[in-house]
Structure 1
Amino acid sequence: MDLYEKRVVLITGCSGGGIGHALARAFAAKNCLVVATARSLASMSDFQDDPQFFLQELDVSSGESVRHALSTTLEKLGRIDILVNNAGVQCVGPLAEVPLSAIEQTFNTNLYGALRLIQAVVPHMASRKKGKIVNIGSVTVLAPVPWAGAYTASKAALHALTDTLRLELRPFGIDVINIVPGAIKSNIGNSASASYSKMPEWKLYKQFDEAIRARANLSQSLKSTPTEEFAEKTVNVVLKDNPPAWFSTGRLSTAMSIMYHLPLSVRDFILRKRFNC
């Protein structure tokens, strides 16, 4: 397949060990040309000499960085067929005491970061009357659990944004897909633990510190779905001619879907027992 006949896929948050990195490899395995982006090129060094990848530094919290990465990509490759908004950060802690600056950073990355990319790429896709926008949400939106409210709220907003975009962009031939991962093996637990260590000492919640700390690594048990398995299934769905609006896979995805339909009193009882609150 000629280089210029391949689908061009731009993915945010492709640092090694994460979901984005696995998605990049899975798209490349399907003969796509992958624009792999991250805040540091060094974090994607294993892609460096592979012609399947075009590497770009990209900080989704910066409008200037987004514009530069997209203009460079379009200048080099001529088009973007698929945008995957994967970049995200965790924020663990009780909402009543988490610094607002940490919550703002979470939304700036998880929600506004995705919207920056979307607003930058939509005019290009609309001009071609084709394209796909893939937003990586979270299964925790179905049943929000204690100690990660800021993260879940940012992903819930992303889910709502995705539903709206699906309708608004349809007239322009652009598909919008909500990918909802369950517990997937990645480096997000380490990142969450690192950010939690920078939190202030809790005043009201000192006695819950152990439970809150455990929340940082909740998705990283031995039974978590391997990143490669998640990536392969996701890519197969995204590349369909008529992709579904919603796709959820990974450990606990079915359980959380069931939780969503439970009466709130029952759900609260289960979560209080599970998270010691």
Structure 2
Amino acid sequence: MEQVVLITGCSTGGIGNALARSFAARNCLVVATARSISSMADLKDNHDVFFLQELDVLSNQKVREVVSTVIDKFGRIDVVVNNAGVQCIGPLAEIPLSSVEQAFNTNVYGSMRLIQAVAPHMISRKKGKIVNIGSVAALAPGPWSGGYTASKAALHALTDTLRLELKPFGIDVINIVPGSVKSNIGNKALANYNKMTEWKLYKKYEAAIKERAYFSQGPKAIPSEEFANNTVAVILKEDPPSWFSLGQYCTIMAIMYHMPIFVKDYVFNKIMMKC
């Protein structure tokens, strides 16, 4: 039977869009969502494979409406991928709290809204998969992206708890932890960064802060299609792993996670505290 897969954050040029295409290539029925249908224009032509829905994960009502619509149309939801997310670049002592709140509301609470909306359906079927897209940044937090890193670390913790709580109901919870993957996240991060007020305390670090917006988009970042194909293959396994990580910096960040704090501080001071 074809798997019905609901994915958030499927705008063109992003990881979610690549995941949608990869699921479709494996004969899944893909419910691709984003805040606007127009941002998924490249998926519009194939209505037999992609069912497009507008979804703002900040809205409880919209989340529940989309889940209800999908269940009414297809009779079930087999896989949910919480991919919608925003970057949050800036020094914590100065960054507007509204930016940090937006990161948590999207990256953490947005995922929880969808999980709580779909969990009763999956529990009733004793079957389902919930996939949360985390980040290797949460393994070794560095400067200039504290709001984003904290939100992904919170999502990792929630994912670990959900895995235990939902296992008795036959539901798999999978933490996908990307390293550097080519996408439009750098452009979006820079656009949001440019809207912020000028730094006062950290004026001399402005170039380094701005550079952090593109840090994941270096020449060694893997193509989003490669990331998506490998990730989807893992998700669709009958017994998927609890954790899957792929992309540049995955190995080094996993190593740094186990390093003494003074070593991590030394490394980040050398790399990111330039002025």
TM range (shorter): over 0.9
Cα distance in structure 1, aligned partners of 2:113 and 2:231: 23
Cα distance in structure 1, aligned partners of 2:142 and 2:16: 24
Secondary structure, aligned partner of 2:131? strand
The match for 2:168 is 171
2:22 to 9, 21, 26: 26
The answer on 1:122 being equivalent to 2:145 is no
The match for 2:149 is 152
1:27-62 per-position Cα deviation (integer Å, ceiling 9, x unaligned): 000110000000010111121121111000000011
The match for 2:211 is 214
The match for 1:239 is 236
The match for 1:37 is 33
Secondary structure, aligned partner of 2:217? coil
Match for 1:114: what amino acid?
Answer: S
The match for 2:225 is 228
Secondary structure, aligned partner of 1:95? coil
1:262 to 239, 259, 262: 259
Cα distance in structure 2, aligned partners of 1:47 and 1:187: 17
Match for 1:108: what amino acid?
Answer: N
- CA RMSD in angstroms comes to 0.7
The match for 2:5 is 9
Cα distance in structure 2, aligned partners of 1:145 and 1:239: 33
The match for 1:48 is 44
Give the structure-1-normalised TM-score. 0.98
Match for 2:79: what amino acid?
Answer: I
Q: Which runs of 5+ in 1 are unaligned?
A: none
The match for 1:78 is 75
TM-superposed deviation, 1:203: 1.2
TM-superposed deviation, 1:145: 1.1
The answer on 1:88 being equivalent to 2:85 is yes
Q: Contact conserved, 2:143 with 2:273, CA < 8 A, in 1?
A: no
Match for 2:71: what amino acid?
Answer: L
Cα distance in structure 2, aligned partners of 1:276 and 1:163: 32
Match for 2:33: what amino acid?
Answer: T
Cα distance in structure 2, aligned partners of 1:92 and 1:221: 17
Spell out structure 1 runs of 4+ moving beyond 4 A.
Answer: none
The match for 1:62 is 59
Cα distance in structure 2, aligned partners of 1:49 and 1:250: 30
Secondary structure, aligned partner of 1:199? coil
The answer on 1:182 being equivalent to 2:179 is yes
The match for 1:193 is 190
Cα distance in structure 2, aligned partners of 1:267 and 1:170: 35
Cα distance in structure 1, aligned partners of 2:151 and 2:68: 27
Secondary structure, aligned partner of 1:177? strand
Cα distance in structure 2, aligned partners of 1:181 and 1:46: 23
Match for 1:259: what amino acid?
Answer: M
1:148-194 per-position Cα deviation (integer Å, ceiling 9, x unaligned): 00000000000000000000001110000000000000000000000
Matches within 5 A, 1:94-105: 94-105=91-102
TM-superposed deviation, 1:276: 1.6
Matches within 5 A, 1:126-141: 126-141=123-138
Identity %: 67
Cα distance in structure 1, aligned partners of 2:201 and 2:17: 38
